[in-house]
Amino acid sequence: MVKIDEVARAAGVSISTVSYALSGKRPVSAETRRRIQAAVHELGYSPNAGARMLAGSQTNIFALSEPLRADSHAPSHMSFMHAMTVAARRKEYDMLLLTDEDASAGMKRVAQSGLVDAILVLDVAPDDARVEIARASATPTIFVGIPNDHEGLVCVDLDFEHATVEAVDRLADAGHRAVGLIGGSERAYEKSNFPSRVRAALSERATERGMSAVSVASGPVVTDRSQVRRSVRRFVENGVTGIVLHAPEEVLQVVLVELAALGKSVPGDVSIVSVGSSFDTDAQPTPIDSIPLVPQSSCELAVDLAIELIAGRPVASGLHLIAPTYLERGSVAPVPSA
Amino acid sequence: MVKIDEVARAAGVSISTVSYALSGKRPVSAETRRRIQAAVHELGYSPNAGARMLAGSQTNIFALSEPLRADSHAPSHMSFMHAMTVAARRKEYDMLLLTDEDASAGMKRVAQSGLVDAILVLDVAPDDARVEIARASATPTIFVGIPNDHEGLVCVDLDFEHATVEAVDRLADAGHRAVGLIGGSERAYEKSNFPSRVRAALSERATERGMSAVSVASGPVVTDRSQVRRSVRRFVENGVTGIVLHAPEEVLQVVLVELAALGKSVPGDVSIVSVGSSFDTDAQPTPIDSIPLVPQSSCELAVDLAIELIAGRPVASGLHLIAPTYLERGSVAPVPSA
DNA sequence: TTGAAAGCGATACCAC
DNA sequence: GTGGTATCGCTTTCAA
């Protein structure tokens, strides 16, 4: 394991110059820097992590607190974990995993031992125990998702309410008079407080636009396709021509199959918009308009905010909402003239 | 951030005694240890991670190399990552995440910087680039899964071959004369070399037991249920009464639905055994006999082996196969007397 | 623009 | 059974 003094010797400079050349915290002449970089490359030097932490009081490690509840949607979680880790690496940070059975204790431990510079919290529940720990800790903490009580916290999320409004508006603009919502399972409404915000925003906006709204929460995906199909049938019977979907990929597929079974085409007879999904609505048999929840966006923002906090720069505590982006895929069309 | 000397002062001992009391590497009188523990608790002390790494040359961190390929099965991956992280924590280790775009570079980096004590490799491909890196590195590395060329490596996995043999034997013992295999997607056969071992073991054992074997790889799960259904129909037409399933949960569900549609009952008409699945075959509408791939088992073994290597204790390089466990759930019954 | 040297906070050797 | 202290490899002040 090659050390900094070997690099210094090889480059014919002092240890401190090597350190500065690598960190860029002090100007180093072009020629000297070149020699140092050559030596670094030559010897395959990378600074000892422990020594760096100790001397620099920065670890370049984030903790990712990721409670894996039995009912969480694995593919979405993976996307977020992955996006977060990649975003961190782009900023030279590594990612340490904190599991659920360890969430509270783990957050304390990594903070107290100075193992990490900041904590990133995924899969935030409305009533999340980690909120209190974050408040009690001096370690910068960013929530991806929004707990009910987010006073003084830094939270990142998609702006679901505006996304929903946008979705309703698109349908209204296309002349649709009745809109239906296919939401997630009942459990989803306890796990996160956004499904209910979507539902509320939809009702409100539909009313404002003079539409009638029918909202339905779908049952647990795999075990209860029939409930989703029932909802779709009810929509059709009630003259709903616009559907807003806030649910996983599997549910969309059931919806599409059922519509086809009822002889309804998309967007010929029924228009669909997906809100806040993190799967690719473009890769569906029928591409679907979407206002996606893009893990990369949330995660990059979260990482940037963490870095600001670490640097001691001011960050507005409160909600950092990501503006929705509407992706047209041709699944919204004017309502058929009855 | 409270330091060791404050604890020492509070307990009225020297810092070395505190260190020894905490590490247990030197006997400390009961009374002294009690006072130290009290002080630790009182002050909320936890040792500085950087200092510890530097002085002790142990980091108590593992790296988890987890290439997230687009076609990987998210729920299984999550199970493994989670199980591995939990197993590590039980041994006082934290887990650092290495992503795919970083796999090779990341492994080198964390090894060279002394950030981790060992590397755990998940989702091993038959022809895995990480094999070479492991060979070139002095950092202990454990593979969960088996690359084709595993010379000199330490690999952990379920003993799929014996598991398959056991499954075939159960069916043979129950009098079944023809056995069918529902495997994963074609891609699965490239991603890991176990699906093909299962297939080979099945053919061989079936022959040994005087059975006829029909092997079928199912298509990509979601987009091609029809292929699975076709296979099931073919099985029934060909008089197959015993099915070995080596595929994800979704495939099992399709199989069960199709059998029902064909008027076949389980285990009345057809017997089924699942091999190497990591979902709960007991939670299915029809519970299924299973020789499960238990993430906990693999991960605990991997962690134990890593610790052995770190401690400098000898570990047999080569395959560490986990003995299969057969779980009876009533899905295997004597072949109906035609 | 560069160098010397004082820490950072533990661990573990050497004494007692 | 306990204490003093050199040491780990870097960062960063202070000097030049």
Question: What Cα–Cα distance (Å) separates residue A213 from each residue in A60, A270, A272, A338, B172?
Answer: 49, 15, 14, 19, 58
- CA torsion, ordered B300, B302, B307, B311, to nearest 10 deg: 150
Q: How many domains does chain B have?
A: 3
High-pLDDT (> 90) share of chain A, %: 76
* Residue A190: inside a domain: yes
CATH code: domain of residue B94: 3.40.50.2300
A66 and A123: one domain? yes
Q: Do A49 and B222 touch (CB under 8 A)?
A: no
For A128-158, the pLDDT digits (tens) are 999 999 999 999 999 999 999 999 999 999 9
For A214-244, the pLDDT digits (tens) are 777 665 544 467 888 888 999 999 999 999 9
Question: What Cα–Cα distance (Å) separates residue A90 from each residue in A22, A114, B167?
Answer: 17, 22, 47
DSSP B242-258: EEEE-S-HHHHHHHHHH
Calpha distance A252→A85 (Å, rounded): 29
- CA torsion, ordered A50, A52, A55, A58, to nearest 10 deg: -100
For A231-279, the pLDDT digits (tens) are 899 999 999 999 999 988 888 999 999 999 999 999 999 999 999 998 8
Angle at A199 between CA A330 and CA A218, to 5 degrees: 80
Calpha distance B222→B220 (Å, rounded): 6
Instruction: Indicate which of A59, A73, A85 best probes the interface with B, i.e. most B CBs within 10 Å of its own CB.
Output: A85
Higher per-residue confidence, B249 vs A51: A51
B267 and B227: one domain? yes
Of B84, B143, B91, the residue nearest B296 (C-alpha): B84
CB of B237 within 7 Å of some strand D atom: no
B187 and B284: one domain? yes
B287 and B310: one domain? no
pLDDT at B222: 43
Q: Which amino acid is at B56?
A: G
Global pTM? 0.93
Nucleotide with minimal C1' distance from the CA of B57 is D8
Nucleotide with minimal C1' distance from the CA of B1 is C9
Q: Give per-10-residue mean pLDDT for chain B (338 aa).
A: 95 97 95 96 96 95 85 86 96 94 89 97 92 94 95 96 97 95 79 84 94 72 71 92 92 92 94 94 91 97 97 93 96 84
Structure tokens at B103: 């796999």
For B96-155, the pLDDT digits (tens) are 999 977 788 999 999 999 999 999 999 898 999 999 999 999 999 999 999 999 999 999
Of B281, B296, B285, the residue nearest B326 (C-alpha): B281
B168 and B286: one domain? yes
How many H-runs (helices) and E-runs (strands) does chain A carry? 13, 11
pLDDT at A162: 97
Beta strands in A90-230 (DSSP E): 94-98, 118-121, 141-144, 154-158, 178-183, 212-217
A182 and A261: one domain? yes
* Residue A337: inside a domain: no
CB of B15 within 7 Å of some strand D atom: yes
CATH code: domain of residue A14: 1.10.260.40
B126 and B175: one domain? no
* Residue A263: inside a domain: yes
A11 and A32: one domain? yes
Q: First vs last Cα of chain B: how many Å apart?
A: 77
High-pLDDT (> 70) share of chain A, %: 97
Instruction: Indicate which of A22, A41, A54, A102 best probes the interface with B, i.e. most B CBs within 10 Å of its own CB.
Output: A54
A91 and A183: one domain? no
Neighbours of B44 (CB within 10 A): 10
Q: What is the mean pLDDT of residues A203-221?
A: 81
Beta strands in chain B (DSSP E): 61-65, 94-98, 118-121, 141-144, 154-158, 178-183, 212-217, 242-245, 271-275, 289-291, 318-322
A67 falls in which pLDDT band (50, 70, 90)?
A: confident
B139 and B203: one domain? no
Neighbours of B135 (CB within 10 A): 12
HEC assignment per residue over A151-167: CCCEEEEECHHHHHHHH
B178 and B190: one domain? yes
* Residue B332: inside a domain: no
Give the minimum alpha-carbon distance from B50 to chain A in angstroms, rounded to a whole number: 4
Tell me the residue range of the domain where A197 lies.
160-291
Q: Are A270 and A259 in contact (CB under 8 A)?
A: yes
pLDDT at A323: 97
- A257's CB contacts (< 8 A; 6+ apart) are none
Structure tokens at B121: 């490799």
Calpha distance A183→A244 (Å, rounded): 8
B89 and B111: one domain? yes
Q: Are B147 and B212 in contact (CB under 8 A)?
A: no
* Residue B331: inside a domain: no
